[in-house]
């Protein structure tokens, strides 16, 4: 993240030296506030005496970092939409635009040494966990420069301390088991429910006996968080992480959020919800818009600087997309690689007994 900020700042400096309009922005930055206190919505608490604070300090540096990250994810997801329609991306593609505050806020509240696992709607988390846009998009297009060398696809992207991206969900029972085991053994687990109101095409009210997901850990305390406000998510995450790290056992966070796209690119997303509902969320609760407003209202940035960041993000995503559509596919010889770890090479049968691929760890 710091690298990104440095890139932004150096970009601004270099533009300034070329005597472009950014010079105005550069001079103006000396008039920005360094930080600002922000009020955030109180979280609903379950089995907790106290919760995350209702005020926090947002520094200029943090604000720029979060803004840029969310814009990258937004742009990347919209680019994926486009590339899917152009058939560069195949199979399943689950986009998270609208939910940017969840992954960026989460990362802001934890350390890179913490571990994360998630479901198929993972592109945003892939980015916040440190995968480059290039490697994500190239994975979506199935090229060798992809983070999984093109072998995993959208739902199977992994990184350091990041266990994917998983395609199989539907495990309410398994979640209950996880709750029991983690509470029994006091495991430092934060269970996060990104409640975007729909399980594919089914509204939560039709699928859940109780939609108060933050209470469904039963004996596990929980928080219900405004998942559209990145500061809310950050503070709740810090609170939850601190709770776990102090040895108290697991805790649950329900992030109330929204996805603009349908469940996946095969789902138009309007047969089970109205266009008005989607539009309403965009105009009133968009996470990027909310952060932008905070930044401008608190003089942490201005419209020109943010526009520059937007332009820079656009460039980054375009370049990544360019790479993703021009990078070659993985070589056929490597079809059977990566079956076993730390194992000597062996032969793998292809579609008939005369075809053998070499499998290398």
**Interacting residue with other proteins among 14, 17, 34, 172 (CB under 8 A):** 172
Which helix (H) or strand (E) segment holds residue 203: the answer is: strand 202-203
Q: Does 15 bind other proteins (CB under 8 A)?
A: no
> How many positions of this chain bind other proteins (CB under 8 A)?
48
| 273 alpha carbon, distance to own chain's centre | 23
Q: Which is nearer to other proteins, 172 or 280 (CB)?
A: 172
309 exposed, middle or buried (CB, 10 Å; 0-12, 13-18, 19+)? buried
DSSP 161: T
Give SS3 for 36: strand
Q: Which is nearer to other proteins, 31 or 210 (CB)?
A: 210
DSSP 107: H
Q: Which is nearer to other proteins, 202 or 326 (CB)?
A: 202
Mask of contacts with other proteins, 260-299, x by CB under 8 A?
-----------xx---------------------------
Q: Does 151 bind other proteins (CB under 8 A)?
A: yes
Q: Which is nearer to other proteins, 47 or 273 (CB)?
A: 273
Q: Does 200 bind other proteins (CB under 8 A)?
A: yes
- What residues have CB less than 8 Å from 158, skipping those under 6 apart? 147, 148, 152, 164, 165
Q: Which is nearer to other proteins, 7 or 270 (CB)?
A: 270
Q: Does 201 bind other proteins (CB under 8 A)?
A: yes
Considering only the stretches 34-42, 204-212, 276-284, 306-314, report the one whose residues sit in contact with other proteins under the rule CB under 8 A.
Answer: 204-212
Phi, psi (deg, nearest 5) at residue 349? -70, 135
Mask of contacts with other proteins, 50-89, x by CB under 8 A?
----------------------------------------
Rounded Cα gap, residues 84 and 137, in angstroms: 11
**Interacting residue with other proteins among 173, 247, 275, 283 (CB under 8 A):** 173
Rounded Cα gap, residues 240 and 254, in angstroms: 11
Which helix (H) or strand (E) segment holds residue 269: the answer is: none
Q: Does 249 bind other proteins (CB under 8 A)?
A: no
Q: Does 199 bind other proteins (CB under 8 A)?
A: yes
CB of 126 to other proteins, least distance (A): 15
Sign of CA dihedral 194, 195, 197, 201: positive
DSSP 54: S
Mask of contacts with other proteins, 333-352, x by CB under 8 A?
--xx--x--------xxxxx
Q: Does 156 bind other proteins (CB under 8 A)?
A: yes
Q: Does 353 bind other proteins (CB under 8 A)?
A: yes
Strands, sheet with 222-226, edge to edge from the N-terminal-most edge strand:
44-46, 222-226, 251-256, 190-195
Which of 198, 62, 66, 171 shows the shortest CA–CA distance to 124? Answer: 66
Enumerate the β-bridge partners of residue 46.
222
Mask of contacts with other proteins, 297-336, x by CB under 8 A?
--------------------------------xx-x--xx
Rounded Cα gap, residues 303 and 293, in angstroms: 10
- What residues have CB less than 8 Å from 111, skipping those under 6 apart? none
Footprint of other proteins (CB under 8 A) = 90-92, 139, 142-144, 148, 150-156, 166-174, 199-202, 206-208, 271-272, 329-330, 332, 335-336, 339, 348-355, 357
């Amino acid at each position: 993240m710091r690298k990104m900020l440095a890139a932004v700042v150096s970009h601004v400096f270099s533009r300034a030296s070329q005597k472009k309009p950014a010079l105005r922005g550069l001079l103006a930055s000396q008039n920005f506030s360094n930080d600002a206190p922000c009020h955030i919505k109180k979280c609903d608490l379950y089995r907790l005496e106290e919760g995350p604070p209702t005020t926090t300090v947002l520094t200029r540096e943090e604000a720029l970092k979060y803004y840029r990250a969310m814009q990258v994810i937004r742009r990347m997801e919209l680019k994926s939409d486009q590339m899917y329609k152009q058939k560069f991306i195949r199979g399943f593609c689950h986009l998270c635009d609208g939910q940017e505050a969840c992954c960026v806020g989460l990362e802001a509240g934890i350390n890179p040494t913490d571990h994360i696992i998630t479901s198929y709607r993972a592109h945003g988390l892939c980015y916040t966990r440190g995968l480059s846009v290039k490697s994500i998009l190239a994975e979506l297009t199935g090229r060798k420069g992809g983070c999984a060398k093109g072998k995993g696809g959208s739902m199977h992207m992994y990184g350091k301390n990041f266990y994917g991206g998983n395609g199989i969900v539907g495990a309410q029972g398994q979640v209950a088991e996880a709750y029991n085991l983690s509470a029994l053994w006091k495991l430092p687990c934060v269970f996060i429910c990104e409640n975007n109101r729909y399980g594919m095409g089914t509204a939560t009210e039709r699928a859940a006996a109780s939609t108060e997901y933050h209470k469904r850990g039963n004996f596990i305390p929980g928080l219900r968080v405004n998942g559209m406000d990145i500061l809310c998510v950050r503070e709740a995450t810090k609170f939850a992480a601190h709770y776990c790290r102090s040895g108290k056992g697991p805790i649950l966070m329900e992030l109330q959020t929204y996805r603009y796209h349908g469940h996946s690119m095969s789902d138009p997303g309007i047969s089970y919800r109205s266009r008005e509902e989607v539009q309403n969320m965009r105009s009133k609760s968009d996470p990027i818009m909310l952060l932008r407003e905070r930044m401008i209202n608190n003089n942490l940035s201005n419209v020109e600087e943010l526009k520059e960041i937007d332009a820079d993000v656009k460039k980054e995503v375009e370049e990544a997309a360019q790479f993703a559509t021009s990078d070659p596919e993985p070589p056929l010889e490597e079809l059977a690689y990566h079956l076993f770890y730390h194992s000597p090479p062996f032969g793998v049968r292809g579609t008939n007994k005369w075809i053998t691929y070499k499998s290398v760890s």
